[in-house]
């Protein structure tokens, strides 16, 4: 990238810096559409078929893979120079190398977001935003280290630096499945005006994605708030009657006991 910038200084360069490393390039993966009906990776609907569980078995003169839920259906492993048909790679994470990317002339960073939750997008983007701001201000890593650690709370595989600094790391497939420390529960919507509670200004519409139960320790995260823990929140149904749980697909409201705001994301530790 540095050589490109030297030769063409007016050319803007974008680099992919964070997310899953697909096993194919430039929309040439057909595994998903082959094994999952109407789930074409080339149309943005990848089923992550290369991440499924496979067993290595033998065929005359070669090896084959057998997918866990398709016993007896064998897929020959054909390997040539510098490629293999099925490979589950590590995830890419370049947050610790932004200065090197800047020195190479990179103008913008690309982060995986397709088919990801708003929780994933928010936490990852927030961490890179804090890192870039610290880099621009010449601040030490300690200023944004907590936001960096949040990258490890969202679902991900082993991190690597891809092909940026060589091939040794990315050539080794990941040996672990998804890792995460928190479950995404939903997000805070707009305030409820005139709600029949003492502190009605603090009641919000709740966009619930996973069940939330009263008495559970939840956390609110925001653009400039690492997280706010809340054990004393209250839940209400569509008629503003207090309830003990909120479920996805139902109209519900939340009254936090901490200063949450519209747009804040809700999660819980797992």
The string of DSSP letters for the chain reads: -HHHHHH-TT---EEEEEEE--SSSTT---HHHHHSTT--GGGT----GGGS-EEEEEETTEEEEEETTSTT-EEE---BTTB-S---PPEEE-GGGHHHHHHTT--EEEE--TT--HHHHHHHHHHHHHHHHHHHHT--GGGTHHHHHGGGTSSB--EE-TTTT-STTTTSPP-S--B-SEEEEEEEEEEPTT-SSTTGGG-EEEEESS-EETTS-EEEEETTEEEEEESS-EEE-TTS-EESEE-TTS-EEEE-SS---TT-EEEEE-
Classify residue 84 as exposed, middle or buried by CB count within 10 Å of its CB (0-12, 13-18, 19+). Answer: exposed
Say if residues 129 and 197 touch (Cβ distance below 8 Å): no
Cα-Cα end-to-end distance for the chain = 40
Q: pLDDT for 187-225, tens place per residue? A: 999 998 876 555 545 899 999 999 999 999 999 999 999
CA atoms within 13 A on the CB side of 144: 25
Q: pLDDT for 29-44, tens place per residue? A: 667 877 887 888 777 7
Q: pLDDT for 59-111, tens place per residue? A: 887 788 888 888 988 877 765 555 544 556 778 999 999 999 999 999 999 99
Would the pLDDT of 25 be above 50?
A: no
Would the pLDDT of 9 be above 60?
A: yes
Global pTM reads 0.74
- Please state the φ and ψ torsions of residue 5, each to the nearest 5 degrees: -70, -35
Among the four given CATH numbers 3.40.50.2020, 3.40.50.1820, 2.60.40.10, 2.40.30.10, the one describing domain 182-269 = 2.40.30.10
Write down the domain spans for the chain: 2-21+90-160, 182-269
Q: pLDDT for 228-250, tens place per residue? A: 999 999 999 999 999 999 999 99
Tell me how far apart the alpha carbons of residues 235 and 122 are, in angstroms, rounded to a whole number: 24
Mean pLDDT for the chain? Answer: 85
54-59 and 62-67 strand pairing: antiparallel
């Amino acid at each position: 990238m540095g050589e490109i910038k030297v030769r063409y200084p007016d050319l803007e360069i974008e680099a992919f810096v964070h997310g899953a490393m697909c096993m194919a390039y430039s929309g040439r993966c057909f595994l998903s559409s082959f094994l999952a009906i109407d789930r074409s990776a080339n149309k943005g609907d990848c089923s992550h078929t290369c991440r499924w569980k496979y067993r290595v078995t033998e065929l005359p003169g070669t090896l084959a893979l057998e997918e866990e839920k398709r016993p007896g259906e064998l897929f020959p492993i054909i390997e040539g120079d510098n490629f293999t048909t099925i490979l589950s790679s590590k995830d890419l994470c370049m947050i610790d190398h932004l200065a090197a990317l800047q020195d190479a002339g990179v103008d913008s960073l690309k982060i995986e977001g397709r088919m990801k939750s708003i929780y994933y997008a928010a936490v990852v983007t927030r961490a890179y935003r804090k890192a870039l701001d610290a880099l621009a201000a010449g601040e030490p890593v300690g200023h944004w280290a907590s936001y960096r650690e949040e990258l490890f709370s969202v679902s991900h595989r082993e991190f690597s630096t891809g092909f940026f600094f060589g091939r040794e790391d990315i050539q080794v497939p990941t040996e672990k499945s998804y890792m995460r420390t928190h479950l995404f529960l939903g997000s805070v919507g707009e305030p409820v005006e005139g709600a029949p509670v003492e502190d009605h200004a603090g009641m919000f519409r709740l966009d619930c994605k996973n069940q939330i139960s009263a008495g559970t320790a939840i956390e609110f995260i925001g653009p400039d708030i690492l997280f706010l823990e809340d054990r004393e929140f209250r839940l209400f149904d569509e008629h503003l009657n207090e309830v003990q749980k909120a479920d996805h697909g139902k109209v519900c409201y939340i009254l936090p006991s901490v200063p949450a705001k519209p747009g804040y994301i809700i999660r819980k530790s797992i």
